[in-house]
Every structure is written in structure tokens, then in C-alpha cells.
Structure 1
């Protein structure tokens, strides 16, 4: 595992550390959402104390803690596997998510101290981190609920029951996949619609909607996802009658 997150000691910026933070965060979100069944299986309570690590290449790893003292980086929560079968699957994932958020902050500010960040650099780093939803918010669906509340409170027109795919500046129609963008009667309505799209967060990685990305909506939980995050292409989506996201597909199989 690349523990340095930025190479040897030297000149590093808050932006460098934030890129490392974001990559590790993406890996841990994958473990707790799109790769949740694989993650669940690896956290066998019969094994020794295990930790969940987010890696700088946007992947994750469940392994034993580092042996050296002190470790190269702050260590994640130890023994996450022991609680797996003692609580509801969703509650266990939420608990791991909380500890993952704490670990990511510890790693980021460890680098900040190690690279000698001043007060302004630390503030800039925290602000960049704080602009992202936490892993806990992504895993528990809090960001989805907030997005729905913004949608329901907006003055945009009511949407039809059919789902759509978002790609580029247009909303591409597809069976069972979110509401087509209606013709707006005023510039204000168009601006509100654009703002609503920008406030939409991916249920897998937690990032905002972007015009140049393909999105798909789950028919069960009605959450939006980047196609790349759930490995769905526009061509494949055209043939899906009812799309279920990874969480909705696997939650039924995760039981105490």
C-alpha cells in the first residue's frame, strides 16, 4: 500500500492532499456500495482483527493492520469484521462508514502536519473536504434524501413516472429509467432545473451530476448513479426493463 500519498517528503499543497483524500474516499465508498457483497464476504468474523483501507488508486483493501510501530499512517478502526454478524447489515455498514470518515480525516491532517501546512492551507484543505458528502451520508442515503427534499421543494414542474437517462446536456429517454425534461416556459424554470441537476449526487461515489456524464436511476430506491460507478453503459441501459442498483440488489442477501 502506498502510505505516503504524495511521494517522498517535500513540497506538497492542500490540493495534493485533497486528491489523495478523494481517491481513498472513492475506494472506501466502492467497498460499502458497489462492491458491498465482496466486502461483506471478506469481513469474516472468524478471521483476525481486520481493517478497511482506502488506497490512493481509488481501490480498497480489507487486511490486517500494519505491524510497524508507529505505523506509516494513522490506522483505521480495528476489528470491523467482528461486528458483522452481530447487527443488521445496514447498521454494520453505517458503523464502518463512520469509522472510515474518521480515518480519512486523520490521514488528511496527518499529511497536513507532516508537510508543514500553515493555518491557511489547513483551512483550504478542510473546506475542500467539507464540500464532499461524508461516506456515512452516501452509505446511509442521507444525500439521496436531501436531494429528494430539494426536488420536492423546488418550483420545477411535476415529472412523469417514466425514468430517463442523463447524458450530456440532454436527458435521453429509456424504459423505466427518470423523468423527461419538459419544455420550460421561462428562463427561471430552466435555471432551477439546471440547479436541481447539479444538486443531484451519485448514490455510489457521492459526487455531483455533470453534464458530460451518463447517469441511471434505480427503480427501487430512486437514487441516481454514474453509469461508470455501477458499470452500466447507455447501450445496455436501453435493454433494462427495471434497473436495481447494487445496494438494492444485495441488501436482501445480507442478513444477520
Structure 2
């Protein structure tokens, strides 16, 4: 497979490899346990970009083309409880996933690395999921890097100030607003066809998996080149959304 070079491609590689590792450590735990026999040589647990996994010998290339997973997971297998062994494999898998992602991101600047980490950090660690601390489908609210958030907020504030000279104050903010458990029946899921400058000023509801609520938002600016949008919540907060992401996940309902 081609080497991922963009933030989006590296993030997708991380997600797929993570899913492969979760498959190994949860769904296929019996098969993993059987494959990692201590009688075999040093073994590594690999998560692959296609979402599958394997237990295999490390590459013989020195230095390796990519960071390698921890070596010798099979030797610890019979020296501890199975659940503890799986948890240990999960910890080392998290470390490998992060080293691989930032190996690919070595040429990024500080903003690029922060953007990549903010995408990765939406997901619980493999360890959290394998040990049952967090549900497998849990998604944390994404935290936009401070510099990007400040720039986005400044742009929105500037736009709002310019409009204020000609229009009535923005009445979108609703004191005491409460998010809903379900989207309004008059809305429909945002689609690729909706992404255009005409989306500016439209209202929608955005789903946050971390609390299972739908929040009322307004699109303040659409950036066609990056496929992102500045939005304002009815609570008064601002955020920049990845439009492709919310469309893919079905997390945005456009009000009609």
C-alpha cells in the first residue's frame, strides 16, 4: 500500500490498524492466544492498514523500514492471567500505533502534528477498550488545537463584527439552550451535495457520541479547499468541523 503522507491519510491508516488490533484482542482473542505460543520464536502483534491482524516474526531488515511492534509477546503469555496478558498486548499496541503515526508525520510542523493528534485522540486507546474501561464505539469530543481554534475564532469574530455594522445583532445564541436526545424530524442528514458556499447561514443539528446528544449549530463559513466549516453552537461556542467526517459518520442533520 502507498505510504500515507497527508494528515487525513495517516489518520485513516491509524484507524484501520487500530481496528485490526481490537479485532485481535477482543473478537479473535482465542485465535490470538493460540497463535502466540511460547514455543515459537519472538513474535509481534501487527495491525494492518486493511483492518486485519497477524502474529508474526519481526522484519529482518536493520533498521526496519517502519517502527516495529514490541517483540516477544508470546513469551509472557503463560506467565500471567489471560486478561492481564491481553491488557499488556493492548498497551504495547497503543505505543506502536502512536510511534507509527508520528513516524509518518515526521515532516509535519507543530500545527500539523497537533492536528493529527487531535484526530487520533478522539478514539479511546486500545488498552481502554480491551480492559473494558471505555465502550468500543466511544468517541471523545475532538479538541481543536489551540492555534487553529484561536485563528478560527478570530476569523468568525471578525466576520461577525463586519456584519454587525449592517445587521441586527446575531440572535442565534439561545440562553439556557438544552441539547436534544433525537434530531428534529424536519431535518435530514447532511450529504456531499450540500457542501457549497450556499451552506453558510444554514442551521443544523450536530451529534456528539460522547454524550449521545444533538446540538443546534449554524454554519458561519465554508472552506471548500479544506472541506471544513466554522460553526457556532446555540450555546454560543464556536468550532471548526471536518465536513467529510460528519457526513461519513452521519452526525449532522441539516434543518430544512
Aligned to 2:32: 39
Indicate which of 95, 102, 107 corresponds to 2:100: 107
Aligned to 1:199: 210
When residues 89 and 25 of structure 1 are mapped into structure 2, their CA distance, relative to the original with a 3 A threshold, is same
Unaligned runs of 5+ in 2: 139-176, 184-205, 213-248, 252-256
In the superposition, the TM-score normalised over structure 2's length comes to: 0.55
How far did residue 5 of structure 1 move?
A: 3.9
Aligned to 1:88: 81
Pair 1:66 & 2:59 matched:
yes
In the superposition, the TM-score normalised over structure 1's length comes to: 0.55
Aligned to 1:121: 112
Q: 2:81 and 2:57 mapped to 1: Cα distance?
A: 24
Q: Please, what is the CA RMSD of the aligned residues?
A: 2.8
Aligned to 1:234: none
User: Aligned with 2:97: secondary structure?
Assistant: helix
Q: 2:37 and 2:14 mapped to 1: Cα distance?
A: 27
Q: Is residue 49–residue 78 contact of structure 1 (8 Å, CA) maintained in 2?
A: yes
Q: 1:200 and 1:37 mapped to 2: Cα distance?
A: 33
Unaligned runs of 5+ in 1: 7-11, 148-186, 202-209, 213-256
Q: Specify which structure has the bigger relative contact order, considering alpha-carbon pairs within 8 angstroms and separated by 6 or more residues.
A: 1
Q: Is residue 5–residue 56 contact of structure 1 (8 Å, CA) maintained in 2?
A: no
How far did residue 15 of structure 1 move?
A: 1.1
Task: Write 1 or 2 for the structure with the bigger share of strand.
Answer: 2
Could you list the runs of 4 or more consecutive aligned residues of structure 1 that deviate by over 6 angstroms after TM superposition?
193-197
Aligned to 1:137: 128
How far did residue 199 of structure 1 move?
A: 3.0
Indicate which of 36, 39, 50 corresponds to 2:43: 50
Q: 1:193 and 1:88 mapped to 2: Cα distance?
A: 43
When residues 193 and 142 of structure 1 are mapped into structure 2, their CA distance, relative to the original with a 3 A threshold, is farther
When residues 38 and 71 of structure 1 are mapped into structure 2, their CA distance, relative to the original with a 3 A threshold, is same
- The structure whose Rg is larger is 2
